[in-house]
Amino acid sequence: MTWITDANGNRASVERWGSEEAARAALATLEDCSGCSDCSDCSGCSRCSRCFRCSGCSGCSDCSGCSGCSRCFRCFRCSGCSRCFGCSGCSRCFGCSDCSDCFDCSGCSRCSGCFDCSDCFGCSGCSDLSGSSKVEVASTPLPIWSVPIVPDLHKRIYAAASAPGALDMVAWHTCANTHCRAGWAVALAGAKGKALETHFGTCLAAMKIYDASCPGFEINPCRFFDDNQAALEDMRKLAEAL
C-alpha cells in the first residue's frame, strides 16, 4: 500500500484514490483532523484522530477510531463508530452503527433519539436501556447474540497475525488467511464470530470478543486502525505479558 501523508499525520492511499494526485486532493479536504486514513471532505472537525474512510462530516470534535461514517454533524467524543450516516449531536457514543441523536450510548445499532443506552438494537426515543432490542412487530422473535470466547486470545491473535503476509491493517478481511487485527479476532472466533460481525460490524464484534475473552482488559478501538508495525508490536507485548 502506497500512502501519501500530510503534516497532521493524516494519510491517503494511492490505491484507494486511484492516483497520487487524487490522494493528495483528498488530504487537502481535511481540516484540523489528525492520524486519519482515507477520509475526505470533512470540514470544521477538530482533534479527531485515527478515523478511517469517513467522508463529508462537519463540526465533529475529539472523535477517534470511527470508520466509514458519512455526513455526521457536531458529534463529540465518539469512538469506534462504524458506518454511521447523518448523525447529529451524538456525544460519547461507543461502537455504534447507523445511530442518530444519541448520548452516552454503547454498542447500539440503528437507534435514534437514545440516551444512556447500552447494547441496544433498532430502538427509538429510548432512555437508560441496557441489552434491549425493540422491533416493529411484537411477535418477531428477538435475536440472542452469544459472544464467543477465544481462549488465550492475545497469544493466538499474535501467532496468527505475525505469520508472513497474514496482517493487513488496511482492510478488515483481505482473504481467508489475511486480516487486520479486528478481522483476526472475528476469524479466530469461528462461526459465532462471523455471526456477531454480521450483526454488529467488524469493529464492535472484535471489541466484544476481546471483552469476553480477556477479562480485565479493554481494547482501545483506535488499536484497530494502527498500521501493520504498530499493531503487531502491541499484539506482541500483550502476548508476551501473559
Q: List 73's β-bridge partners, or say none.
A: 58, 88
The model's confidence at residue 42, banded by pLDDT at 50, 70 and 90, is confident
For the chain, the distance separating the N- and C-terminal CA atoms, rounded to the nearest angstrom, is 33
Contacts of 59 (CB under 8 A, 6+ apart): 43, 44, 45, 73, 74
* Structural domain includes residue 117: no
Q: Which of 66-75, 86-95, 133-142 has the lowest mean pLDDT?
A: 133-142
* Structural domain includes residue 124: no
* Structural domain includes residue 24: yes
The model's confidence at residue 138, banded by pLDDT at 50, 70 and 90, is very low
pLDDT attached to residue 170: 85
Q: Which of 15, 32, 49 lies at the terminal end of a domain, its last residue?
A: 49
* Structural domain includes residue 140: no
Residue 199's domain comprises 153-241
Q: Could you tell me the CA-to-CA distances from 88 to 70, 71, 73, 107 in Å, in that order?
A: 11, 9, 5, 17
* Structural domain includes residue 211: yes
Number of domains present in the structure of the chain: 2
* Structural domain includes residue 98: no
220-242 mean pLDDT = 88
Phi, psi of 25 (to 5 degrees): -65, -40
Q: Which of 14-18, 19-23, 97-101, 222-226 has the lowest mean pLDDT?
A: 97-101
The model's confidence at residue 92, banded by pLDDT at 50, 70 and 90, is confident
* Residue 199: burial class (beta carbons within 10 Å; 0-12, 13-18, 19+): middle
Q: Look up residue 25 and give its amino acid.
A: A
Q: How far apart are CA 33 and CA 162, in angstroms?
A: 31
* Structural domain includes residue 93: no
Q: For residue 141, is pLDDT > 60? A: no
Contacts of 86 (CB under 8 A, 6+ apart): 70, 71, 72, 73, 100
